[in-house]
Amino acid sequence: MKQLACVALVLVACTSQAPLTPTPAAEAPAAGRALDLAAVVAASDQASKPVEAHRQLARLAGQWSIVSAGIDEQGRTGLDVFEGTAELGMILGGRYLLWRETQQLPGGPRESVGFVAYDKIAREWQWSMATDLSTGIGVARGEGSLEGGVRFVMELVDAQSGAVLRSRSRLVVLSENEMLLERLGAAADGTERTMRRVLYRRIVK
């Protein structure tokens, strides 16, 4: 108990020795701070200006119908077919494509929302997506072109085992009115195969 009392006294003594009025720090002129901030904002705006990849991405804006079909090991399609709709639009000065989608899955419609972007500094495509069937946001990174196909790779945590898995997909713009999203996986012999094709057709009004 005496030791505790001594410790308490030392703390009180140290506290009482601290200056009651802290010395004010020197302040930069308000006008100088505003000028620096304006320069930073202007530089960031210029550095993030959309490039050709963003203009290609903007061509996907609009409403789309969806037909999603599974593919078996023999390459036969038409398995577990689902339909839906998607609405895509550019936001934030043409820097990002907002992607909202609804698919008619067993048990009722399911929604997802995300963003597709091209990071011109990292020189890569990025796709984030959240759904009402998950509690996390998936982030995929990809390389390629929209016409030739952008190959995305995303790491995710398996809900059953907790293991980190890698999900692969490929997005290809077939024409002004059609695009294809392929979900890729491993075949029995270890080679890569297409497990699901999601065809998007533009809704022309």
Domain residue limits, the chain = 52-202
Identify which has the larger pLDDT, 9 or 105.
105
For position 136, what pLDDT does the model report? 80
For position 10, what pLDDT does the model report? 29
Question: How much is the mean pLDDT over the chain?
Answer: 83
Side-chain half-sphere CA neighbours of 198 within 13 A: 18
Most confident of 6-15, 60-69, 158-167: 60-69
For position 28, what pLDDT does the model report? 52
Q: What confidence category does residue 1 fall into, taking pLDDT thresholds of 50, 70 and 90? A: very low
Residue 164 has pLDDT above 90, yes or no: no
pTM for this prediction: 0.76
For position 31, what pLDDT does the model report? 53
Express as a percent the part of the chain with pLDDT over 90: 56
Residue 9 has pLDDT above 70, yes or no: no
Residues contacting residue 126 through CB under 8 Å, at least 6 positions apart: 115, 116, 117, 118, 119, 139, 140, 141, 142
- The CATH number of 52-202 is 2.40.128.20
For position 25, what pLDDT does the model report? 53
The arithmetic mean of pLDDT across residues 136-145, rounded, is 91
